[in-house]
């Protein structure tokens, strides 16, 4: 495959800590991906609109505020409403283990919690692209 | 034509996903890219193309955001191509121009597309021209092309845009910087951003002196703006409109666009020749074969070139 993988890195919700998102953005860049970094405090509507315009392969979201159970599934739902089914949606941040099965059920392909080596995320993306 | 006409009709009707997908195919140089560009060509030429260029951190994205928002409020359809550098080492990139424009993400009048330079020099990416055409056919009234942060010689934007806005900021150097050749020569309008910062008067004065020394037919206007406070934005739009009227009334718009078509066709021919060198096995083999001869001085590189050129054509 010659084309770079395009990834939208977004921070939904209201917490203002984007160090994790920046670390992952940087790691994906170094793994030859094109990272569209959208910054803090994105609404699910903004994330989905940006992902469609940028025609990305992956949406990677990070939340530290605890609003993941609401915001992550909302993004998946909005994609479905737009008829978009070929975008891989993954999440990360401070997410209790108990919440992970529910998020996967809701369509988040994988959840990466603190301490995950970035290589694992990169590997996951490469192996699970839908386009 | 192989390309399904439905796809083009969907673009003409303003379908966002079709627009996005077409740009991807052009960026990735997929097989259908050329058919798409052929198919949409007759529907292009309506948008006013505005280049936003200037040094890194000068506020190009914030300014593009403000201008687009204002035009969208006026009911205009706006496309934005925002370019950031691709790593020459890994091929990866971080495209961060959207950070300043996120409030436009859900604006139905605005379409933002980020592009990595993907090895292209000159401040744009190779797919920029194709992206502009897709936006044009998609129905944009205005297309902003935000270049990478430029240094002194990334002037491709002048061949791409109808109007070039040079975004300057106070405190980047003395007045000799302002009369150097290169990017300072390509501005149709100077926007001195962050004009609330110390030194902005001096910067304005130096650019004014530089402009007055020149003998251009039309001296670029100089505007003071503060993009993050939305100051000077309407005035800037006014100047962009004036510049467009000037181009039309003097016949320069046609002149510019003819030159653009000329350089586009030349580029296409260059690309075709390069692709034949690398993709045509016979040509590549011939190239391999002459290397030793040139090395042993049995052949000089210029005669070798003539030989290969015949094989390519």
Q: What is the pLDDT of residues B253-263, one digit of tens each?
A: 999 999 999 99
3-class secondary structure for A78-112?
HHHHCCCCCCEEEEEECCCHHHHHHHHHCCCCEEE
Q: Average pLDDT, stretch B46-65?
A: 94
Distance of CA B246 to the CA centre of its chain: 21
Q: Which of A34, A39, A50 sits opposite B116 (nearest CB)?
A: A34
pLDDT of B179 reads 57
Does B24 sit within 8 Å of A4, measured CB to CB? Answer: no
- To the nearest 10°, report the CA torsion of B1, B7, B10, B11: -80
Residue of A29, A84, A122 to mutate for B, most B C-beta atoms under 10 A: A29
DSSP B92: -
pLDDT tens for A28-47 read 999 999 999 998 999 999 99
CA B16/CA B109 separation, integer angstroms: 11
Q: Average pLDDT, stretch B64-88?
A: 96
> Which pLDDT band holds residue B3 (cuts at 50, 70, 90)?
low
pLDDT of A124 reads 97
- Whether the pLDDT of residue A2 is over 80: the answer is no
Q: Does A30 touch chain B (CB under 8 A)?
A: yes
> Which pLDDT band holds residue A22 (cuts at 50, 70, 90)?
very high
CA B71/CA A88 separation, integer angstroms: 34
CA A60/CA A45 separation, integer angstroms: 15
ipTM: 0.93
Contact residues, chain A, for B278 at CB < 8 Å: none
pLDDT of B75 reads 97
Look-up of token digits 């919700």: A13
Q: Does A118 touch chain B (CB under 8 A)?
A: no
Q: Does A84 touch chain B (CB under 8 A)?
A: yes
DSSP B220: P
pLDDT of B155 reads 82
Percent of chain A with pLDDT over 90: 86
> Which pLDDT band holds residue B2 (cuts at 50, 70, 90)?
low
Count of alpha carbons within 13 Å of A24, Cβ hemisphere only?
33
Q: Find the domain containing A48 and state its range.
A: 6-128
pLDDT tens for B105-157 read 999 999 999 999 998 888 888 899 999 999 999 999 999 999 998 877 678 88
Is the Cβ–Cβ distance between A129 and A5 less than 8 Å? yes
Is the Cβ–Cβ distance between A46 and A77 less than 8 Å? no
- Whether the pLDDT of residue B63 is over 70: the answer is yes
Q: What is the CATH number of the domain that holds A95?
A: 3.40.50.280
- Whether the pLDDT of residue B211 is over 90: the answer is no
Q: Which of B20, B92, B106 sits opposite A31 (nearest CB)?
A: B92
Q: Average pLDDT, stretch A65-78?
A: 94
Question: Searching chain B, which residue's CA lies closest to the CA of residue A27?
Answer: B92
Contacts for B125-129 with beta carbons within 8 Å, 24 or more apart? B125/B27, B125/B83, B125/B86, B127/B23, B127/B26, B127/B27, B127/B29, B128/B81, B128/B83, B128/B160, B129/B160, B129/B264
Angle at alpha carbon of residue A66, lines to A63 and A72, rounded to 5° = 55
For A20, A111, B199, the CA distances from A11, given in Å and listed in that order, are: 10, 14, 36
pLDDT of B186 reads 87
pLDDT of A1 reads 46
Contact residues, chain A, for B23 at CB < 8 Å: 55
Sheet containing strand A34-37, strands side by side: A110-112, A88-93, A58-63, A6-10, A34-37, B93-95
Strand (E) or helix (H) holding B244: helix B233-249
CA dihedral sign of residues A24, A29, A30, A32: positive
Question: Searching chain A, which residue's CA lies closest to the CA of residue B85?
Answer: A34
Does B105 sit within 8 Å of A50, measured CB to CB? Answer: yes
Q: Which of A25, A45, A47 sits opposite B94 (nearest CB)?
A: A25
Does B17 sit within 8 Å of A52, measured CB to CB? Answer: yes
A–B CB contacts, 8 A cutoff, strictly below:
86
Does B114 sit within 8 Å of A52, measured CB to CB? Answer: no
- Domains of chain B plus CATH, in order, are 42-250 (3.40.50.300), 262-312 (no CATH)
Please list the residues that pair with A6 across neighbouring strands.
Answer: A34
- Whether the pLDDT of residue B1 is over 60: the answer is no
pLDDT, chain B, mean: 91
Q: Average pLDDT, stretch A13-24?
A: 88
pLDDT of B213 reads 83
For residue A1, tell me if it sits in a domain.
Answer: no
Q: Which of A25, A34, A46 sits opposite B102 (nearest CB)?
A: A46
CA A105/CA B232 separation, integer angstroms: 50
Contact residues, chain A, for B87 at CB < 8 Å: 29-30
CA B16/CA A128 separation, integer angstroms: 25
DSSP letter for each residue of B254-294: HHHHHHHHHHHHHHHHHHHHHHHHHH-HHHHHHHHHHHHHH
Question: Searching chain A, which residue's CA lies closest to the CA of residue B27?
Answer: A3
Does A42 sit within 8 Å of B102, measured CB to CB? Answer: yes
Of residues B158 and B248, more confidently modeled: B248
Q: Does A39 touch chain B (CB under 8 A)?
A: yes
The widest CA-to-CA distance across chain A, in whole angstroms, is 39
CA A113/CA A92 separation, integer angstroms: 6
pLDDT of B250 reads 96
CA A32/CA B280 separation, integer angstroms: 28
> Residue B194: what are its φ and ψ, rounded to 5°?
55, 40
Question: Searching chain A, which residue's CA lies closest to the CA of residue B108?
Answer: A49
Q: Which of B24, B93, B105 sits opposite A29 (nearest CB)?
A: B93
Contact residues, chain A, for B24 at CB < 8 Å: 6, 55
Give the B-side interface with A, CB within 8 Å: 16-17, 20-21, 23-24, 27-28, 86-87, 90-96, 98-99, 102, 105-106, 111-114, 116, 118
Does B116 sit within 8 Å of A33, measured CB to CB? Answer: no
Domain total for chain A?
1
CA B126/CA B120 separation, integer angstroms: 6
Which segments within chain B are labelled E, that is strand? 48-53, 78-84, 93-95, 110-116, 142-146, 163-168, 189-192, 222-224
CA B137/CA B12 separation, integer angstroms: 6
Is the Cβ–Cβ distance between A93 and A40 less than 8 Å? no
Contact residues, chain B, for A52 at CB < 8 Å: 16-17, 20
Q: How far apart are the first and last CA of chain A?
A: 11
- Whether the pLDDT of residue B247 is over 60: the answer is yes
Of residues B183 and A8, more confidently modeled: A8
pLDDT of B181 reads 62
CA distance B135 to chain A (A): 12
């Amino acid at each position: 495959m010659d084309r770079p993988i395009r990834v939208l890195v977004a921070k939904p919700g209201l917490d203002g800590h984007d160090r994790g998102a920046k670390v992952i953005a940087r790691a994906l860049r170094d793994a030859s991906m094109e990272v569209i970094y959208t910054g803090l405090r994105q609404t699910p509507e903004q994330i989905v609109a940006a992902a469609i315009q940028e025609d990305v392969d992956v949406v990677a979201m990070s939340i530290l505020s605890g609003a993941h159970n609401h915001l992550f599934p909302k993004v998946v739902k909005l994609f479905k409403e737009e008829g978009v089914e070929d975008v891989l949606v993954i999440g990360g941040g401070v997410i209790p283990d108990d919440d992970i099965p529910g998020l996967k059920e809701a369509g988040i392909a994988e959840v990466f919690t603190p301490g995950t080596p970035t290589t694992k995320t990169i590997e996951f993306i490469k192996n699970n692209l839908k386009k | 034509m192989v390309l399904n006409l439905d796809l083009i009709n969907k673009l003409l009707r303003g379908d966002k996903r079709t627009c996005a997908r077409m740009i991807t195919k052009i960026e990735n140089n997929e097989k259908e890219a050329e058919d798409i560009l052929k198919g949409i060509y007759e529907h292009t030429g309506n948008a006013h193309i505005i280049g936003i260029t200037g040094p890194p951190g000068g506020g190009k994205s914030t300014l593009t955001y403000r201008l687009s928002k204002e035009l969208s409020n006026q009911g205009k359809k706006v496309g934005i191509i925002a370019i950031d550098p691709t790593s020459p080492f890994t091929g990866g990139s971080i495209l961060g121009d959207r950070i300043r424009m996120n409030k436009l993400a859900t604006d139905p009048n605005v379409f933002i597309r980020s592009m990595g330079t993907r090895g292209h020099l000159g401040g744009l990416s190779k797919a920029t021209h194709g992206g502009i055409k897709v936006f044009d056919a998609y129905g944009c009234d205005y297309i902003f092309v935000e270049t990478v942060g430029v240094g002194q010689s990334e002037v491709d934007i002048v061949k791409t845009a109808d109007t070039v806005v040079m975004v300057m900021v106070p405190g980047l150097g003395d007045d000799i910087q302002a009369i150097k050749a290169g990017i300072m020569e390509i501005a149709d309008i100077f926007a001195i951003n962050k004009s609330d910062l110390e030194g902005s008067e001096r910067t304005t004065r130096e650019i004014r002196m530089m402009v007055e020394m020149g003998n251009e037919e039309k001296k670029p206007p100089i505007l003071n703006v503060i993009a993050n406070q939305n100051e000077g934005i309407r005035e800037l739009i006014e100047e962009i409109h004036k510049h467009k009227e000037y181009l039309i009334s003097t016949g320069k718009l046609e002149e510019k666009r003819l030159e653009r078509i000329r350089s586009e066709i030349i580029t296409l021919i260059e690309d075709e020749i390069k692709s034949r060198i690398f993709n045509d096995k016979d040509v590549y083999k011939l190239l391999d074969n002459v290397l030793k001869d040139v090395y042993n001085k049995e052949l000089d590189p210029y005669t070798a070139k003539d030989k290969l050129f015949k094989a390519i054509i």
